[in-house]
Every structure is written in structure tokens, then in C-alpha cells.
Structure 1
Amino acid sequence: MEELVEGLQVEVGARYDTGFQFAIEQLKVVFPDLDEAKLGKLDALNWIVDGKLVPFVPTDAA
């Protein structure tokens, strides 16, 4: 059962990331003048803190 849950977690994560990347590609089409370097910094796990992108850190990380 644990293997099944692990596999499903990986699958859901992969689909989430694929959807996020598809959204980035749509941004490039709709807003072709956007800075590609800045778009390259986008990640599905980033947070916005004080108007800046920061890597996600789980709250239970110690």
C-alpha cells in the first residue's frame, strides 16, 4: 500500500508541474515581450514573500 501511495504522490506532483509549465508557456504566447530570464526563475513551489519569489520551505523542516 505504501508503494502505491508513493507512486500516486509522484504522479500527482508530475502532473502539477506539467500544468504549471503549460501555464508558463501560455504566458509566453500571450505576453511575448516578457523577460525569458525572469520566466525561467518561476517554479511551482516558489512563494511570494514581500514581493519577491522565494523557494518553498516546509513549515516542519528543521
Structure 2
Amino acid sequence: AKDRKTFTDEIAHLRGQVATQKDQLASSLKEKEEAASQRDVLSGEKAALEEMVEGLQIEVGASYDSGFQFALEQLKIVFPDLDESKLDELDALNKIVDGRLVPFSSDAA
């Protein structure tokens, strides 16, 4: 009878542990699902931000080139006798090396 009581108590104790483990597992699975959902949301936001950055980079480049072209137009007005073919050699990306204009190259940067 005592052994039966011990086994019954042990079974009740183990059932309690199983219930606790099930609750912890359910909680962990819920946290995992929430983390996966948050990851998906953040991945979408990251993609949108990367697209925005790319668009802004293009916009900045276009604005830079537009400003350079505007400066060339001002030169033509202020110095009407300038040789237009020389102005055509100018480029927003040229560099000055040893007193000469040279085309930009990324490996020389």
C-alpha cells in the first residue's frame, strides 16, 4: 500500500512536470513565431530602406551632375569667347593630377 502511494505520488509529480514542460514548450514556440514574424517585418523594412538609399544615391549623383552642367553654362555666359570644344572636355568626375585633367578611375582613388 505504501509502494502504491509512492508510485501514485510519483506519477502525479511527473504529470505536473510534463504539464510544466508543455507550457514552457508552448511559450517557446510562441516566442519563436513572434521572432520569425518580427524578422519578416524587419526584412521588409530593410529592403525598403535599401531601395530608398539606392534611389537617393542616384538622385544625389544626378543633382551633382546637374550642378556641374549649370556651372558650365555659367562659364559660357561669363566667358562667351571660351572655346566650346575645351568646355566639352570637362566632366564632373575628372580629377586634376599634376596640373592636368584626367578621367576618374576607381583604382586610382
> How high is the TM-score relative to the length of structure 2?
0.52
Q: Which residue of 2 aligns with 1:3?
A: 51
Q: Which has a greater percent of helix?
A: 2
What are structure 2's unaligned runs of at least 5 residues?
1-48
Percent identity over the alignment?
Answer: 74
- Counterparts of 1:1-62 in structure 2 under 5 Å? 1-59=49-107
Q: Which runs of 4+ in 1 moved over 4 A?
A: none
Structure whose alpha-carbon radius of gyration is higher: 2
Distance 1:33 1:48 in 2: 24
More contact order relative to length (CA 8 Å, sep ≥ 6): 1
Cα offsets for 1:5-31 (capped at 9, x unmatched) = 000000000001000000000000000
| AA aligned opposite 2:87 | L
Displacement after TM superposition at 1:59 (Å):
4.2
Distance 1:60 1:31 in 2: 33
Matched residue count? 61
Displacement after TM superposition at 1:52 (Å):
1.1
